[in-house]
Chains A and B, each alone.
Chain A
Amino acid sequence: MMSTNGTRSYSLRIWRQNDNSSPGALVEYRVSDINPQMSFLEMLDHLNDTLERKHEVPIAFESDCREGICGTCGLMIDGRPHGPAAGLTTCGLRMRQFADGATITIEPFRANAFPVLRDLVVDRQAFDRIIQAGGYISVNCGQAPEANSMLIGKDVAEAAMDSAACIGCGACVASCPNASASLFVGAKIRQLALLPQGQAERSRRALRMVEAMDREGFGDCSNHGECEAACPKGISIESIAVMRREYMRTLLARG
């Protein structure tokens, strides 16, 4: 299989679907001349170039920054969100991580709350609606006090930053057997619950965000822990415990 110039070939099984109301199916493709340094998405670019030259409709997939921070790309690769490497988004994968001649199955992130728009592209606006329910601090521009008038310990700031690192890619949802968004929601609740600025709306935030998550059709968390393993940014499952605690605290306070 290995070519003389060190490039590789692969068999791909890729999900094709015209839109959300049409059925989809896995379609087989072959790619060759793949340099092991190429990124996974460049391999797909290469396949699409080949299809376009034949006047065939290329595979719709999404990506933007291609450096792991925007959260746009997100593919199920051989059944794992963002593929086999821990701590990477799809765009960070390199073909050297796939053995020459391998068969690779590529599907969209699947969840009821993430409808497929076309091929590998899904709609993740449910995440925006959850943030709209309370993932913010209600301060109007112009009202802010002098920044150093509020001291925040380095450890607290660091812990908040750990949660704030979420890129909203949806890998947590795609990996979860229940398609729960608890890791995503928990990360934002934890970030803002840790910070003094977040205290005033702490209760309302937890309640509204959890309710929004349920309303969007995400499943419940039953502690599988798949989300933490799939998260490219290492968001800890402790966030989910914080979310539950904050939610219960609010319910109890209300009696």
Chain B
Amino acid sequence: MDFDIVDDRLNSGAPEGPIETRWDRHRFDLKLVSPANKRKYTVLVVGTGLAGASAAATLAELGYNVENFCIQDTPRRAHSVAAQGGINAAKNYLNDGDSVWRLFYDTVKGGDFRARESNVYRLAQLSTQIIDQCVAQGVPFAREYGGTLANRSFGGAQVSRTFYARGQTGQQLLLGAYSSLMRQVDEGRVRLHARREMLDLVLVDGHAKGLITRNLVTGQLERWAGDAVLLCTGGYSTAYYLSTNAVNSNATAAWRCHKRGAFFANPCFMQIHPTCIPLQGRAQSKLTLMSESLRNDGRIWVPKNKGDARAANEIPEGDRDYFLERIYPAFGNLVPRDVASRAAKHICDEGFGVGSTGLAVYLDFEEAIARLGRDTVEQRYSNLFEMYREITGENPYAVPMRIYPAPHYTMGGLWVDYNLQATIPGLHVLGEANFSDHGSNRLGASALMQGLCDGYFVIPYTLGNYLAGQKPGSTRSDDPAFNEAETSVKNGVEKLLSIQGNRTVRDFHWELGRILWDQVGMSRDPDGMRRAIGEIRSLRDQFWQDVSIPGSGDSLNRSLEYAGRVADYLELGELIAIDALHRDESAGCHLRLDHQSPEGEPVRNDQDFSYVAAWEYTGDLSRPRLNRERLAFENVHLAVRNYK
């Protein structure tokens, strides 16, 4: 593997001193833009999920001009909408021992000590205000009979700090942010541009000052000039083809920024979610996640005897192996996602898996129904049970569900400093698209928290610090930098259309997904990763010779859109594999077969790898440059994660 290392060049810019007061002190040090000047600045916000919509609305409320872009037909469809389980906040409403410090501690530990302490503390601190904001917007969170907000325990937490709205928390939070955004559109402070795909970032004097977008209906390329760019475009799990993400989720905007100079951090940190409906066949286009709140009451098991062909209900208690409860008696079925996913994979690899493929384990509610009554189980999970029944045709009240892990969330993303600014000045990255808060494993109900925290409560302060040093409206879309970027996008589109090969885009995407899932998936070994790198390179060459994209560039052409995204994934996929191969340790989701304890738990190498790997594009995809940001753990001391 070829790469150069530039050591310790990256500095987060987080303040020193007691962690409890870092954000307060930092906010005071940040420069402000005066109220009268805000309207002179234009901010380009790409994406309308929790991070994008909350940022666009809040910046407009402050008085900035906002241009907001999304690939969907309306902002309300961004993939945040699909998050089911909930959002964490350290309110300690249940008086059960929660605190800002505990949420901070849990997140750093849960991330297996590969997140930045300062950012995580700030996230925990601001979490409580997010709930206040959402309630004020009219988000109908679940409530107790007395009228207070309801909380539940979620995904490995030993306190109940998760707020939820049935199984549709993401939808309700997104509609809250969307409603604030729509209010700003009505007030004329946000201009909305739906069905636009960002295809390049425009740099003027090294600063992010514009975008090139493609109008997905007319095919027209458009130029947008502004004073800063916010990238809120989500994660890249669909690099694996089958994932829980929406089929249009993609990394194109982030990847194009990377190729313009933004470093890509920890790309191999990809979370596999344990409770998904298993794969049924080659034609399948996505994997459906069921909220892991199911693990609060469901018990996970496989038959004790290999090849036990009996129906689940006919297997007596004594012949069942509740393997999570057996291996992790303290946390049982509520161990963190990476631990649960890996345990399921191991037990299936050993031949105990169930269902027609042997790649599934049971998630059983029989005991919960007996203990709580069917009504309570229905109240808690009816929508998930219904979803399962629709997809599989089986009734989970009567027979156990079958589940298997699936790619779900990417902790990696563009590198950002404490102000959420990328290595390109003026480019800020929010939500899943950045890397900063979840280390190598994200805890459940923390993604919604981070997206909204970045958009509502961090960027409104930190963006001002950047803008205060910029002369407003100084960039015009006839700047030569726009000509260069537009030409480069135009050539890219024409090149794709000119190939006229014989294989579909989906074919290539499927093949890439297979390589990544097999070699850079739930368990990784050096030979496999080396093989993956070679295979991805060769697949990329084939793509550029043999992909078939019918239709033209001057109309709505979904094959063309898809081809651009898969072309970028064929590049990012290689970087994922390179990063995974270079990280010669296990950490969180990144389990290396050559670095595990005798019990199969990941073994970190803090001496050599307690850093963020931020990759710099050099013009040669196979020879990226590694920049390291050293991580210090001053408040949560490095320890082996132990859930036993």
Contact = CB atoms under 8 A, between A and B. Distances in A.
Interface stretch (A48-56, A100-108, A216-224, A245-253): A48-56
Interface string B262-293: 00000000000000000011011110110000
A69 B82 contact: yes
B125 to A, nearest CB: 15
B185 interface: yes
Given A42-B285, A132-B185, A55 B550 contact: yes
Interface string A179-190: 000000000000
Interface stretch (B126-134, B220-228, B618-626): B126-134
Given A52-B559, A60-B556, A151-B147, A124 B73 contact: yes
Interface in B498-518: 500, 502, 504-507
A58 B558 CA distance: 8
Interface in A118-139: 118, 121, 123-125, 127-128, 131-133, 135-139
Contacts of A18: 555
A37 B281 CA distance: 8
Nearest to A137: B138
Contacts of A131: 178-179, 182
Interface in A58-85: 58, 60, 62-72
Given A42-B285, A151-B148, A135 B82 contact: no
B550 A141 contact: no
B504 A49 contact: yes
Contacts of B144: 154
B182 A165 contact: no
Contacts of A148: 91, 93, 148-149
Q: Which of B81, B134, B140 has the most CB of A within 10 A?
A: B140
Contacts of B168: 69, 165
Interface residues of B, number: 84
Given A42-B283, A151-B148, A64 B246 contact: yes
A154 B91 contact: no
B502 to A, nearest CB: 7
Contact of B283 (A45, A66, A71): A45
Interface residues of A, number: 78
A19 B555 CA distance: 9
A146 B91 CA distance: 10
Contact of A145 (B136, B386, B456): B136
Contact of B179 (A121, A137, A147, A195): A137
A164 interface: yes
Interface in B551-577: 551, 555-556, 558-559
A197 B146 CA distance: 17
Contacts of B5: none
Contacts of B147: 151-154
B44 interface: no
Contact of A141 (B131, B142, B166, B180): B180
Contacts of A151: 146-148
Contacts, number: 214
B10 to A, nearest CB: 30
Nearest to B175: A164
B138 A66 contact: no
B137 A139 contact: yes
Contacts of A69: 81-82, 168, 170-171
Contacts of A144: 129, 132-133, 135-136
Interface stretch (A8-16, A88-96, A235-243): A88-96
B6 interface: no
A210 B450 CA distance: 36
B140 A137 contact: no
Given A38-B283, A151-B147, 4 more contacts: A35-B281, A52-B549, A52-B559, A137-B179
Interface of B: 54, 57-58, 61, 72-77, 79, 81-82, 91, 93, 129, 131-138, 140-149, 165-166, 168, 170-172, 175, 178-180, 182-183, 185-186, 192, 194, 217, 246-248, 280-281, 283-286, 288-289, 386-387, 390-391, 393, 456-457, 460, 500, 502, 504-507, 548-551, 555-556, 558-559
The 10 residue pairs across chains A and B that have the minimum distance between CB atoms: A151-B147, A136-B179, A144-B136, A144-B132, A161-B140, A64-B246, A160-B140, A132-B186, A147-B135, A157-B143
24 contacts: A19-B555, A38-B283, A52-B505, A52-B549, A53-B502, A64-B77, A64-B247, A64-B248, A67-B289, A69-B81, A69-B82, A70-B77, A94-B391, A132-B185, A136-B137, A139-B133, A144-B135, A148-B93, A151-B148, A153-B145, A157-B143, A165-B171, A195-B140, A197-B138
